């Protein structure tokens, strides 16, 4: 697959504060890319640098085969969907979508017939047919999101940047818009770079997932690889599905405050030392159940459970006070109930853990 966008060693500071510290990334053409990072990680800054609203101090940006470092934002052919939609409240759905086409600096469309046709095509593409004349103050959050997207797509960008596009929507709608966004992207065939603070959203939506940590790209890969093989404890922490212990490796064991774990097959070279075991790789057994061949058994006291629909997350406290999470999928098993404060044996395969050393 060819590369549409490549950043090499991009650095951007605000005064003394470094927001992006040597960003290297490449985005495949015609794909959905998600960028995951916590609040303040520099996600918006990165999008603004790519769009040309901010000038980096260092580094190169190549887009569609050329260096765009000195190219004005409106000449980059990169669309931007802002976090809060930024619609014109006094205009209708159709006029909001047509606005960019009629008023862009480069090659504005002046023929009202053509404007109307393009706007209506876009309205159909994003599923807003019938709402053309509606004021944007009188449509739902999901519909506003579609208007914001249509307004960008109508200008025929070669790539679209979306800054937390689902953040303003309620949970139900957010789930539906995930697949909508993916299918709209497939229909227009350009790369979407979708920024989010939600690990589930990033993994569910991205063909490629980028993780922003410490002002750098910590990992880039397909969602399966990122989920199953996070390259650092920090990435594992963002994914919000690993119990992570800090400690040191000594020969064949990993020593933590909670105890000592035999090291299995997966040792990931990393500057930060940690031991990570996924929430859904752990079995809960009566206290005293011994570890089998290749297994680790650890005792904890049950705290509480939380249902998430298809799964249940159970929280335990270990003897050093650390909270340990176990996720059990409910498709086959009926939910077990555990005794409050009761002690249980928590068992996992040592080869399922990732040791960062």
Segment contacting ligand ADP by CB under 6 A, of 14-22, 169-177, 260-268, 285-293: 14-22
Task: State in angstroms the smallest separation of the CB of 34 from ligand ADP.
Answer: 13
- 165 makes contact with ligand ADP (CB under 6 A): no
Would you count residue 196 as binding ligand ADP (CB under 6 A)?
A: no
Q: Which is nearer to ligand ADP, 14 or 66 (CB)?
A: 14
Position 146 contacts ligand ADP (CB under 6 A): no
Q: Is 297 exposed, middle or buried (0-12, 13-18, 19+ CB in 10 A)?
A: middle
Q: Interface residues for ligand ADP in 25-54 (CB under 6 A)?
A: 37, 39-45
For residues 196 and 314, which CB has a smaller minimum distance to ligand ADP in the complex?
196
Q: How far is the CB of 25 from ligand ADP (least distance, A)?
A: 15
Nearest-approach distance from CB 73 to ligand ADP, in angstroms = 16
Place of tokens 């399922």: 352
- Return all residues near 169 (Cβ < 8 A) that are at least 6 apart: 141, 142, 145, 177
DSSP 147: H
The answer to whether residues 254 and 247 touch, using CB atoms and an 8 Å cutoff, is yes
Compute CA distances 295 → 230, 282, 347, whole Å: 22, 10, 7
DSSP 289: P
What one-character DSSP code corresponds to residue 124?
Answer: H
Shortest Cβ 256–ligand ADP spacing (Å) = 31
Q: Does 56 engage in binding with ligand ADP (CB under 6 A)?
A: no
The DSSP secondary-structure symbol of 92 reads B
DSSP string, 165-200: TTTTS-HHHHHHHHHHHHHHHHHHT-EEEEEES-HH
If phi > 0 it is left, if psi is from -120 to 50 it is alpha, else beta; for residue 288 that is left
19 binds ligand ADP (CB under 6 A): yes
Where along the sequence are the contacts to Mg ion (CB under 5 A)?
43-44
Query: Which is nearer to ligand ADP, 40 or 294 (by Cβ)?
Result: 40
Is residue 16 within the footprint of ligand ADP (CB under 6 A)?
A: no
Asked if 253 contacts 216 with a C-beta cutoff of 8 angstroms, the reply is: no
Number of residues lying near ligand ADP (CB under 6 A): 11
Find which of ligand ADP, Mg ion, none residue 19 binds, CB within 5 to 8 Å per kind: ligand ADP
Is position 14 an interface residue for ligand ADP (rule: CB under 6 A)? yes
Among positions 259-318, residues that touch ligand ADP (CB under 6 A) are none
Give residues in contact with ligand ADP (CB under 6 A).
Answer: 14, 17, 19, 37, 39-45
């Amino acid at each position: 697959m060819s590369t549409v966008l490549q950043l090499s060693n991009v650095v951007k500071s605000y005064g003394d504060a470094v927001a992006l510290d040597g960003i290297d990334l490449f985005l495949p053409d015609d794909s959905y890319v998600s960028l995951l990072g916590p609040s303040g990680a520099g996600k918006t800054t990165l999008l603004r640098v790519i769009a040309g609203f901010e000038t980096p101090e260092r580094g190169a940006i190549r887009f569609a085969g050329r260096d765009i470092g000195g190219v004005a934002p409106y000449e980059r052919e990169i669309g931007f969907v802002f976090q809060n939609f930024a619609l014109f409240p006094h205009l209708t759905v159709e006029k909001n979508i047509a606005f960019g086409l009629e008023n862009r600096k480069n090659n504005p469309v002046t023929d009202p017939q053509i404007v109307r046709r393009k706007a209506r095509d876009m309205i159909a593409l994003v599923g807003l047919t019938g709402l053309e004349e509606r004021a944007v103050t009188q449509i739902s959050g999901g519909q506003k999101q579609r208007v914001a997207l249509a307004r960008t797509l109508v200008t025929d960008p070669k790539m679209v940047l979306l800054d937390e596009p689902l953040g303003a929507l309620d949970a139900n709608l957010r789930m539906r818009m995930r697949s909508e966004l993916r299918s709209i992207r497939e229909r227009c065939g350009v790369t979407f770079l979708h920024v989010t603070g939600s690990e589930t959203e990033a993994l569910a939506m991205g063909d490629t997932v980028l993780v922003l940590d410490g002002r750098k790209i910590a990992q880039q890969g397909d969602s399966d690889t990122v989920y199953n093989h996070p390259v650092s404890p920090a990435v594992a922490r963002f994914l919000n599905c690993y119990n992570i212990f800090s400690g040191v490796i000594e020969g064949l064991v990993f020593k933590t405050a909670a105890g000592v774990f035999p090291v299995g097959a997966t040792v990931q070279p990393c500057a930060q030392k940690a031991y990570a075991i996924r929430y859904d790789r752990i079995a809960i057994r009566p206290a005293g159940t011994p570890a089998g061949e290749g297994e680790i058994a650890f005792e904890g006291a049950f705290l509480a459970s939380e249902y998430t629909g298809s799964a249940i997350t159970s929280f335990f406290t270990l003897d050093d006070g650390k909270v340990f999470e176990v996720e059990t999928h409910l498709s086959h098993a009926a939910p077990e109930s555990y005794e409050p404060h009761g002690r249980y044996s928590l068992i996992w395969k040592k080869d399922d853990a990732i040791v960062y050393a």
